Amino acid sequence: MAELLYRLGKLTARRAWTVVVAWVIVLAVAAVGFAIGFKGLTTSFDIPGTASGTVIAELQEKLPDFSGASGTVVFQTEDGSAFTDDQREQIGTMVASAQDLPDVAAVVDPFEADTQRADQQAQIEDGRAEIADATAQLDAGQAQLDAGLSQLDQAQAQLDGAREQLEAAGAPAEQLATLDAQQAQLDAGRAELDAQQATIDEGRAELVTQSEKLELGAELLDLSAGILVVSEDGSTALVNVAFTEPRLELSAEAKESVVEHFESEPIDGVDVSFSTEIAQGVPQIIGVGEIIGVIIAGIVLMVMLGTVIAAALPLVTAIFGVAVAAVGTLAFSGVVQMASVTPVLGVMLGLAVGIDYSLFIINRHRKQLIQGAELRESIGLANGTAGNAVVFAGATVIVALFALNVTGIPFLGLMGTAGAIAVLIAVLIAVTLTPALLGLIGLRVLNRKARARIGEEHHEDTKARPMSTLRAVLTVITATIALLIVAIPALSMRLGLPDGGSEPAGSTTYTAFTTTEEAFGAGQNGPLLVVANLPAGLDDDALLQAQVDVARALSELDDVVAVAPIAVSDDGELAAFQVVPAEGPNSASTDALVRDLRELPPINGDIELGVAGQAAINIDISENLADVLPLYLTVVVGLSLLIMILVFRSILVPIIATGGFILSLFATYGALVAVFQWGWGAEILGIHSTGPILSFLPVILVGILFGLAMDYQLFLASGMREAYVHGSPARLAVAQGFRAGRSVVIAAGLIMVAVFGGFIFSESTIIRSLGFGLAFGILIDAFVVRMLLMPALMHLLGKSAWWIPRWLDKIMPNADVEGAALERRHHADAPAADAPAPGSHQGSGGL
C-alpha cells in the first residue's frame, strides 16, 4: 500500500491539473445527480418490527383513516381574549377548504367538535330528564294499576263470600250462575290488569336499558372530559389534521401545503402555528457556528503550518470533499427515505477528517522539504508514509460507520453509510488532490524562514526523555478517576426523540408546542393511541359495554388525564382510543405510562391492548437502539482490534487503546446527560429546554468516536513503534514517538473540536447534541486519553507493550503503516542533501 501511494503521490504531483479537473468533474456529476434525484428529507425516525409498528399495521388494515400521520394547527388570539364569531367563522372556512389538500384524510373543525361535545352533553341531560319523566309516568300507571288490583281483590273477596253463603244454603244453580258471570267479569278485569302490568314491566325494562346505555355514554363522555380542542377561556383552538400516508411516507409537499393553506389568509388578531409533525423543517446544514468553527480550524492550521497557502490547502480540500459527499448523498434521497440529519453527519465528518488527513500529509511533506528532499519525491514519500497512515486511519472510521448497518435499523444504517462515504471521499481527496495541489504550489508550502532552513539537520527526537514511573502511575490514576467522575451522570441517561419543546425558540413548532401546553396541558402534545382487539360477534350493546370497560381500565392508570373512544372497525373487532397523559411525550411519567399500558392484562379476560402514538414510537425506537448498542460495540471494537493488531503487531497496545476509548466514551455520555438532560450549563450553549438524550446518539457516538480515537492512537503509537523497532529502549521509544507526533495530534484534535463544536450552536437540537458529543468526545479522548493516559500506560508496560505471539507474528502481513520500508528504500537512492537527519524517522506519527 505504501509503495502504491508513493507512486500515486508522484503521479498526481506531475499531472496536477488533470487531477484537479477530474475532481471538478466528479463534483459536477454529483451536482447533476443531486438536481435530478433530490426529493427531500424526512424529519421522522422509525424502526420496523416494533410494538407500535404492529399497532399501526393493524390500523392500516382495519382503520386506515387513523393509521396515517397527524398534526395540529394551533390558533390563538393575540390579546388572549375569546375568539369572536367572525374569527370562528374564518377558521371554520379554512378548515372546510383544507379537506381537499394533498394526502389529507380529515381536518377537524375545533368549534364544531366543541359544539358536538356540548350537544352530546345536552342530549345526555335531556335523555336523563326524559327517562325520569317516563319513569314517573310508569310509576303513576303502576299506582293506578295497583289500585285497580286492590279493587279487584276486594270484589273477589266479596264474590267468594257470597258463593260460600249460597252454597251453604243450597242455593239453586240459577243463583250460582249469576255468581259465575260476575267471576268471569272479575277474571277479565284481572287479565286486563295483568296485560297492563306486563306493558309497564316491559316499559320499565326498556327504560332501564336506555338508562344503562345513557349512563355508559355519559361515563365515556366524562372520561374524555380532559380532551379539549378549544381552551376553557376560548382563546386557543386546535385543528387536528389527519393524513392518508404514514409519517415516514408523507411527502414534504403535503406538509408544506397545509402550512401554506392556513397561512394564506391571515386572520386579524389571531396567530397560527404548527406542530412538529407538520412544520418541522430540515435543519440548516451550515450556519454561523459552523463557519466560526472552520475559521478557528484555519487559525490552528495557520499556527501549525506557518503560511496562508499551506493553511488554506486542508480547508479547501475538506470543503471540496464535503461538497462532493453532500450532493452525492442527497442525490439518492429519492430512492431511499433519508433522515434530515444524515447529510449533516456527512458534513461534520467530511470537514473534520478532511482537514486532519490533509494536514497529516502536508505536515509530513513540509518536514521532508526542510530536510532537503526534492519536491515531487517529498510529495510521493509523504503520500506513501503519512498517506498510508491516513488510509488505515480512515479505514478504521469507515469500518465503524459501515458497521451501523448491523443494527438492523434502516435510518441508522443509512446515516452510517453516508458518513462512511464522506470519510472515504476525504481519504481519496487526501491522497490524490492534496498531492496534486502540493505539486502546484511547490515550495510556497513553506514560509521564508522555513525555506531558509532547507537541508539543515534536526535532532528533535534526541531531546526526548522517558517520564518517571511515579509520574506514569499518578497520571494513570488521576486520568482514570477524572474520567469516571465525569461519566457518573451517564448512569441516569434517558433516551428519546426531540419534541416541539426542543425546537428553536420562536419557531412555529416551538410556539405550537408551548401554546398547546399552556392552554390544554402538556399531555395534549403527545396523546397516545391505544387499540383494543375485541371478541368477534359483539352486538351494539355489548360493543358499547366493551368500550366502557376498556376506557375505564385505561383511566384508572396513573398519569392518565382523559380517555376517548375514537373509532371502531367495520367488523367490530378493533376499537381505537385516544389517551392523553399528564405530561409531555418525553417525560418520565409518560414513558412509565406506556409501559404500564403494555403490561395491562387482557381486559375482561379476552380484550388485548396495543399502544402507538408519538411517545410510544419514541420509546420503541429508544429501546431498540439501546438493545443494539452492545452488539454494535462488540462488532466495531472487534473489527478495529483486528486492524490495530495488524498495524501495531501487538496485543496489549490495541487493548489499551480500546480501554481508553471506553473511558472517554462514557465520560462523553456523562457530559451529554449533565448538559442536555440535567441542564448544567445549558444556558451558556443556548439550550432553552432539557429532556432525554437523542435516542440514536449513543450508538452514533460509538462509531464515530471510536474511529477518530483510533486515528490519534495510530498517529501517536506508530511513531512509538517505529522508534522501538529502530532500536530505542521501549520507554524511551514512548517518549520519542510522543514528542514526534504530539504537535500534529494537538493541532488535529483542536481542529476537530473546533469543527464539531461549531455545530453546537445549530438551531436543531439533534445537530446541537451531536456536535457537542463529538466535540467533547474528541477533546477528552485526544487530550486526556491519547496524550496522557495512553503514554503513561505504555511506559508502565515497557517492552511488553509490543509483545505478540510468534505464530501470530509469522502469519500476519506487514502493514508498515508508518511507511518505514518505503522511506528506507527511496531514501537510499536519494542524494545526501535529500537524506533525513539522523534520528528523524517519524513515520506517520512523527508529523
Stretch 14-37: mean pLDDT: 87
Distances in Å between the Cα of 508 and the Cα atoms of 100, 278, 450, 643 are 23, 10, 56, 49
Q: What is the Cα–Cα distance from 733 to 718, expressed in whole angstroms?
A: 10
Q: Cα separation of 690 and 675, whole Å?
A: 8
Pairing of strands 104-108, 495-496: unpaired
Q: Which helix (H) or strand (E) holds 271?
A: strand 270-274
Within 10 Å of residue 732's Cβ, how many Cβ atoms? Answer: 18
Torsion angle of C-alpha atoms 495, 499, 503, 508, degrees rounded to 10: 180
Cα–Cα distance, 712 to 785 (Å, whole number): 10
Nearest residue to 468 via CA among 716, 791, 713 = 791
What's the mean per-residue pLDDT of the chain?
83
Q: Summarize the confidence of residues 762-774 as an average pLDDT.
A: 82
Percent of all residues in the chain with a pLDDT value above 90, rounded to a whole number: 21
Q: How confident is residue 325, by pLDDT bands cut at 50, 70 and 90? A: confident
Q: Using N-to-C axis directions, what is the helix angle for 820-827 and 2-14, rounded to 10°? A: 60
Residue 497 — φ and ψ, nearest 5°?
-115, 150
d(CA 98, CA 240): 11
Q: Assign 828 a pLDDT band (cuts: 50, 70, 90).
A: very low
Most confident range (mean pLDDT) of 58-72, 472-486, 793-807 is 472-486
Q: Is the pLDDT of residue 771 over 80?
A: yes
b/e code 376-407 from CB counts within 10 Å (16+ = b) = bbbbbbbbbbbbbbbbbbbbbbbbbbbbbbeb
pLDDT of amino acid 838: 30
Task: Decide if 394 contacts 424 (C-beta within 8 A).
Answer: yes
pLDDT in tens, 574-589: 999 999 999 888 888 8
Q: Position 314: which residue type?
A: P
Do 437 and 383 touch, CB atoms closer than 8 A?
Answer: no
Buried b (16+ CB within 10 A) or exposed e, 208-247: eeebeebbbbbebeebbebbbbbbeebbbbbbbbbbbbbb
pLDDT at residue number 396: 79
pLDDT higher than threshold 70 for residue 824:
no
Distance from C-alpha of 305 to C-alpha of 254, rounded to nearest angstrom: 51
Residue-wise pLDDT for 530-560, tens only, equals: 999 999 888 888 898 999 999 999 999 988 9
β-partners of residue 42 are 339
Which pairs with CB-CB distance under 8 Å and at least 24 residues apart come from 21-30? 23/320, 23/324, 23/429, 23/432, 23/433, 26/324, 27/320, 27/323, 27/324, 27/327, 30/323, 30/324, 30/327, 30/328, 30/331
Specify the pLDDT at position 235: 93
pLDDT, tens digit, 9 for 90 and up, residues 215-227: 888 988 898 888 8
DSSP structure string for 325-338: HHHHHHTTTTTS--
Looking at residue 283, the DSSP 8-state letter turns out to be: P
Report H helices in 403-523. Answer: 410-441, 448-452, 469-487, 508-520
Q: Tell me phi and psi for residue 17, to 5 degrees.
A: -65, -35
CB 224 within 8 A of CB 95: no
Give CA–CA dist 604/41, Å, rounded: 45
User: What is the average pLDDT across 677-683?
Assistant: 83
End-to-end CA distance of the chain: 19
Contacts of 281 (CB under 8 A, 6+ apart): 43
SS3 (DSSP) at 539: coil
d(CA 274, CA 511): 8
- Cβ-count burial 74-83 (b if 16+ within 10 Å, e if not): bbbbeeeeeb
**Nearest Cα to 300, choosing from 598, 786, 746, 791?**
746
Taking residues 824-832, what's their average pLDDT? 48
Distance CA 220, CA 562 (A): 10
Distance CA 565, CA 221 (A): 9
pLDDT at residue 631 in the model: 80
Q: Mean per-residue pLDDT for 804-829? A: 68
Sheet with strand 574-581: strands edge to edge: 560-568, 574-581, 528-533, 608-612
Query: Are the C-beta atoms of residues 818 and 733 closer than 8 Å to each other?
Result: no
For the segment 614-668, what is each residue's pLDDT rounded down to a tens digit? 778 777 877 777 777 788 778 777 877 787 788 778 888 888 888 888 899 999 9
> Over pLDDT 70: what percentage of the chain?
91
Cell of 233: 377561556
Q: For the whole model, what pTM was predicted?
A: 0.78
In terms of average pLDDT, the best of 437-451, 701-715, 764-778 is 764-778
Q: What does the pLDDT read at residue 833? A: 35
Give the distance from CA 26 to its chain's centroid.
Answer: 32
Give the DSSP per-residue string, 192-244. Answer: HHHHHHHHHHHHHHHHHHHHHHHHHHHHHHHHTTT--SB-TTSSEEEEEEEES
Instruction: Answer yes or no: is pLDDT of 460 > 60.
Output: no
The angle formed by the CA atoms of residues 384, 390 and 395, to the nearest 5 degrees, is 120
Judge residue 146's burial from the number of C-beta atoms within 10 Å of its C-beta, 0-12 exposed, 13-18 middle, 19 or more buried: exposed
Look up cell 260476575; give the residue: 182
- In angstroms, the CA 797 to CA 730 distance is 9
Q: Name 524's Cβ contacts closer than 8 Å, sequence gap at least 6.
A: 227, 228, 238, 516, 517, 580
**Closest CA relative to residue 364, chosen from 385, 393, 341:** 385
- Per-residue pLDDT at 632: 79
Count of beta carbons in the 10 Å neighbourhood of residue 578: 18
User: How distant is the alpha carbon of residue 474 from its chain centre?
Assistant: 40
Contact status, residue 436 vs residue 383, Cβ threshold 8 Å: no
Alpha helices, DSSP H, located in 15-98: 16-37, 51-62, 85-98
**pLDDT confidence tier of residue 840, bands split at 50, 70 and 90:** very low
d(CA 671, CA 486): 7
Distance CA 37, CA 537 (A): 51
Report the pLDDT value the prediction gives residue 841, as an integer from 0 to 100. Answer: 35
- At 334, is the pLDDT very low, low, confident or very high (cuts 50, 70, 90)? low
Of 597, 537, 533, the closest CA to residue 563 belongs to 597
